[in-house]
Structure 1
Amino acid sequence: MQADFAYQAAQDSAGCQLAVTIIADRELIRAQLHDDAEAAGFRVIECCTLEDYAQAGIASLGDLLLIDCAQVDAQDMAQLSRLDIRAGKAGAQMVVATSMAALDAVFGCFALSGPQILVDPGRAERVIAIGRALAHVPNLRLRELDEEDRLMLLRLTEQVGQIAMRLERTSPGKSASGGAFRLESPAPAWRGQGEEYLVEAKVRARLPEPALLRRILKARQARARFFDGDLFADPAWDMLLDLAAARGEGLRVSVTSLCIAAGVPATTALRWIGQMVEAGLLLRVQDPEDRRRAFIALADTSAAALANYFAEVGTAELAAV
């Protein structure tokens, strides 16, 4: 007798089939997303372009929202921002695919819903993102993945877990000393009123000059010309160096620029950025002149931790870092 490989639809803990809304301007991608969502057990409640979705005024988002927007204009950005607010309030999960050219604009639209953002993804990456979304649904029964998809999902899960653990260990806000900032006296030896006690000042370390940080970053990136870049991939450190230099230069750093500095694929860099923001190492800063844009900056505790590190290592050794 032939084995029965039919699996039940993806359901929530109440036994209701999960629903998905698909918004994609490219017809081929829209068809692929439709097939992949159905294969994962979702019920597709809408599959259309962003313009059609905006005009239809559809009430329900479903449990998952899949968006593909390789190019966006001002009207698209306004619609994406509205979807971000709705998904954030409804608790719907989002997977947003875009291009490197549109990344800054798209990233700025999503401040509430915490979507998975993919940059120029292949179909396998989209499938894995759907799998990650399913992993957040309790008591879920899935259709079977083939061995290749299973291994890719396992590797992705391990990667995200490793990022989270590494950041938890290195977050300066959780150091045993209670953080990098503390109340200090205004002079090397300051005596309080009445001279009952003496407070010895601790000199606060300063970040190295931006030009030196840029040279260090450039030297690190040059290794990829002679060796496999994966051998030296350390996106968190490269992003910290880039943001520290920008801080000294008084420059704002876009998410696209930071992804390039990370030296890893943009989608991977975005995972690191998301985890580092969550860990308090980085800050998402809204552009005061255009609320649709957002920049990434060092948290003060991260800047202080970097300054203390470089002060301990010494400037003579910095170029070899």
Structure 2
Amino acid sequence: MDIQAHERVLLVDDDPRALKAMSRALAGGGIACVTAGSAGDALALLRSRARIDVVLSDIYMPSMDGIEFLGAVRREFADRPWLQLLLVTGQASVTTAVAAMRLDASDYLIKPVEPTPLREAVGHALARAESIRRVRHTALDTPQAAELQRVAAAVRDLAQELRQADSATTADRGDLRTLHLLQRLQDARESIFRDAVMPEPAWEMLAELMRARLAGQQVSVTSLAMASKSPTTTALRRIEDLLACGLVARVPDPDDRRRTYVELTPEGLARMQLFLEGFGRLVPGPQ
């Protein structure tokens, strides 16, 4: 299998054995990478190699841990919204899940990382980065760019609606308007952005729960997993993450003990607002 000519993946870990194992696993899938043994070395590589699209970092490193490092990447390279961040941790925790969402991380992987899940996660991140690059580089004088600006306006309106929303007092008319804006965003995302702005499973689930809340519908665990557009095992893990973070809550079906519904919490609503407000980074041209 041919290896990519240009390294678009940066692996960061203070353990040389871990770097070697992950590099070998990615090479087996035709994915070339460059490695760094510290956060400082990784930042230097990012400054000199603008073609890097994916950064995969271990959480526990001396000097600067993975969370701090990826936060620094987001701040210093804010002009590269296509950069995809992945975390590697030896133990799943609520703290890890929250940090991953705050960093808009593509995924986080649990050690020991098997070759196939690693290649799948990195491959997905590469595809998403490439499509975000295409969106960002859309010529401003094209019909597509004009549509992107219309979508960006809808996103701003939706974020404003969510800021003003009160789960206990929002009027039906306001709910219908917000539902219309959310549907417009979903339709545009499918037809124009495709996977470029497709949130990772956790965000996709939050969007589906927001839609259901506004429409007065209930969403089962099974339906929510399907809405995530990800493998069932990944979707179920993300649902547990959202539950642990307090972004969603389980609601038992009083008529069927075998069925459990999931609903958005006020904190989940706030996260959706933050996501929408950051969405505009992907749209080229003036906001």
The two structures have a TM-score, normalised by structure 2, of 0.44
- More helix by proportion, 1 or 2? 2
Look at both structures and tell me which one has the larger radius of gyration over its CA atoms: 1
